[in-house]
Every structure is written in structure tokens, then in C-alpha cells.
Amino acid sequence: MIDRLTHSMQALQRLMKAQEVTANNIANLNTPGFKSDKLFYHSFIEQLNGEASSVVRPQQTINMAQGNFESTENPFDLAIEGEGFFKLELDGQELLTRNGRFRLNADGFLVNDEGANVIGENGPVSVPILHEQSGTAETEQRIEISKNGTVFVNDEKIDKIELARVEHLPGLERHAAGYYTAPPGLEVLKDSESAVLQGFFESGNVDPLQEMVAMMNHAGMFEAQQKVMLTTDELLSRATNTIARF
């Protein structure tokens, strides 16, 4: 019966982890470029006090499936068609992201909402101001970003946004919602195959229906395991009281 309690406790711990992953996916349902997490279980044999026992542990991986493209007609909203990532620099750290909702800051640099610089061939991408004064007339400048990431202002090349790729996508580590870092040993390479789409952003790839069903299933299984533990505890109490009579 002690084994039954141990197994139920382990099951509850795994269900709590699964519910945590599901809740985080749902919380980032509307986060551009967000990639949902998937949980699977790895079973292996472990030696404990000289005896072999089966152990099941949860393993978490990132679902890198591409999300839908949303049109905004904003020239600084960018999406990637393919497996590439935008490279960002924030406080000296290099980040990778699929979230291409960018803007120009006061200094004319292309940044994201957190102020991280978008990296190009020449370092942080700098774009001239959108309007320049010519006497009393204000002339609007055309900002065009080609599919290979080249940034043009009035047909003049300014820079080229550098896309990155990694050979082993599951090896990426999540830095924050929608942002990733490459751990030591995982090489970040230039990506010349993916395409940049101007005026679009990639929505997250979370399937809300699937996540809600998973959440309800986890809750049901959690309740079932709690009942198993209560029943086992009652049986143990009865057995203890019975033995105490003799």
C-alpha cells in the first residue's frame, strides 16, 4: 500500500507539471511569435539501494511549428517564413525570436517592445527618420524590407537584417515568452533560406481548444489520484487499527 501512495504522489507531481506547462501556453495565446511547450515522459531504469526500479520523468520541449501570419500593413512588422529567427541584442546578450513586431526608437534604431536592438549585417539596424524637412514641405520616405531582409529607404540600401538558424531546434532554451538563447555547444548559423515578410507578424502557435481539453483532462486525473490516495490512506488506517487489537 505504501507503493500505491508513492505512485499516486509521483502521478500528482507529473500532473502538476503538465498543468503548469498548459497554463503557460494559454497565458501566451496572444503573444506574437510564441512557441508552445510540449511535455512528454521519459521512462528509464534507475538503481536505488542496489535494486533496479522504473522511473518516469517529464521532459519539456518547444513546439516550433509555424504560426499564422497576421497582416498589419505596418512597415516595421515582420514575419519569417521558414525556420529562421531574428537576432536581438539586449544588455549585451544575444536573443533569438520569431516575434517581429518592431518599431523605431528615438535614436532611429529598429527595436522590439523591450528596447532590444534588431541585429543586421552592420550591427544594430539604424533607419533614417521617416520624414525629412525640405523647406516647408515634408517628404515622406519609403521604407521597404525585401524577403532576404535588406532594408531600403527610398530605394537606397541601408542595412540587411540578419536571420539566424540552429541545426537542433529542441536544443534552444527559452529566455522569456517568445525569446530564446542558444546554450554552449549549440551553434547559431546564418539563415539564407527563410524569407522576411514585411507588414505581417507571426501569431503564436498555441491551439486554445487543445490546451483547454488538456487542462480539463489534467484536472480530472488529478482528482482521481487524490481519491486513490484517500482510499489507500483509509485502508492503511483500518489495517493499523486491526493489528493494534491483537
Domain limits of the chain? 2-29+206-244, 69-202
pLDDT band at 62 (very low <50, low <70, confident <90, very high): confident
What's residue 44's pLDDT? 63
Average pLDDT over residues 74-93: 94
pTM above 0.85?
Answer: no
**pLDDT top residue among 242 and 212:** 212
Average pLDDT over residues 123-137: 65
Is a pLDDT exceeding 80 seen at residue 58? no
Average pLDDT over residues 55-62: 75
Residue 178 carries which side chain, given as an amino acid letter?
A: G
Average pLDDT over residues 195-221: 92
- Per-residue model confidence as pLDDT tens digits over 90-113: 988 999 999 999 999 989 999 999
For the chain, what is the radius of gyration of the CA atoms?
26
Average pLDDT over residues 232-244: 67
Is a pLDDT exceeding 60 seen at residue 132? no
Is a pLDDT exceeding 60 seen at residue 183? yes
What's residue 48's pLDDT? 63
- DSSP H or E run through 112: none
CB atoms within 10 A of CB 104: 18
Average pLDDT over residues 12-37: 89
CB atoms within 10 A of CB 155: 7
Dist. CA 117–CA 155, nearest whole Å: 23
pLDDT band at 137 (very low <50, low <70, confident <90, very high): very low
Dist. CA 104–CA 126, nearest whole Å: 8
Residue 33 carries which side chain, given as an amino acid letter?
A: G
